[in-house]
Amino acid sequence: MQDYTEFMDSVLVSAEEIEARVTELGAQISRDYAGEDLLVVCLLRGAMTFTADLTRKLTIQHELDCMSLSSYGRGNYASSGNVRVNLDLMTNIEGRHVLLVEDIVDSGRTLAHVLSMLQTREPLSLRVCVLLDKKMRREVPVQVDYVGFDVPDKYVFGYGIDIDERFRHLPFIGSADLTRYIRPA
């Protein structure tokens, strides 16, 4: 396997910055939902690491469920625009406060699709928490309530975000120069 240092441009967000911001987000969300019945919904797989760390910082009671969507497909580095639900929620969200946790928002297409789908299930409230926001890539307007970091229009990886299902384990967010990346066979 290729070493990430061979194609990494830079560390965009350090492990220390991530930890500090996740702590801040946990405190803010805990204040905003104090006394409420919160359901945290993790969008797999990219948001898994972020969601695990975030929920450990929450000081309020909450439940956790997961969804899996795809719009990229293995080996693609740009969204196809076609969103497919691979795994749906097991929890009924009708009348519940729902916090959707996502790794990154760029075009907004995937997030808009899932928000529209979840709104039909009549949650009491539906908010979004994203680790990374690429605002300059937005094609579809979406409401993001909690943002970890605004990032430039670069391909990112690490802290749960993959390149070809690899490099999720890295504790930081790096930017990749895909011209130096060797796609696995």
> In sequence order, which residues have a C-beta less than 8 Å from that of residue 40 and are 6 or more positions away?
51, 54, 55, 58, 62, 63, 64, 65, 99, 101
Catalytic residue among 53, 103, 106, 133: 106
Give the model's pLDDT for residue 1: 78
Assess contact for 32 and 88: CB atoms under 8 A.
no
Overall pTM > 0.95 = no
- Answer yes or no: 106 catalytic: yes
> In sequence order, which residues have a C-beta less than 8 Å from that of residue 45 and are 6 or more positions away?
68, 160, 162, 168
The hierarchical CATH code for the domain 15-154 is: 3.40.50.2020
Asked if the model's pLDDT at residue 72 lies above 80, the reply is: no
Tokens of 105: 């928002």
Q: What are the tens digits of pLDDT across the range 96-121?
A: 999 999 999 999 999 999 999 999 99
Average of per-residue pLDDT across 6-20: 97
Q: Distance between CA 59 and CA 146 in Å, rounded?
A: 17
Asked if the model's pLDDT at residue 80 lies above 90, the reply is: no
Q: How confident is the model at residue 6 (pLDDT cuts 50, 70, 90)?
A: very high
Q: What are the tens digits of pLDDT across the range 130-164?
A: 999 999 999 999 999 999 999 999 999 999 999 99
Asked if the model's pLDDT at residue 175 lies above 90, the reply is: yes
Asked if the model's pLDDT at residue 73 lies above 60, the reply is: no
AA letter at 109 = R
Assess contact for 125 and 98: CB atoms under 8 A.
yes
Assess contact for 151 and 133: CB atoms under 8 A.
yes
Asked if the model's pLDDT at residue 75 lies above 60, the reply is: no
Question: Which DSSP string corresponds to 89-107?
Answer: -SS--TT-EEEEEEEEESS
Q: Distance between CA 40 and CA 1 in Å, rounded?
A: 34
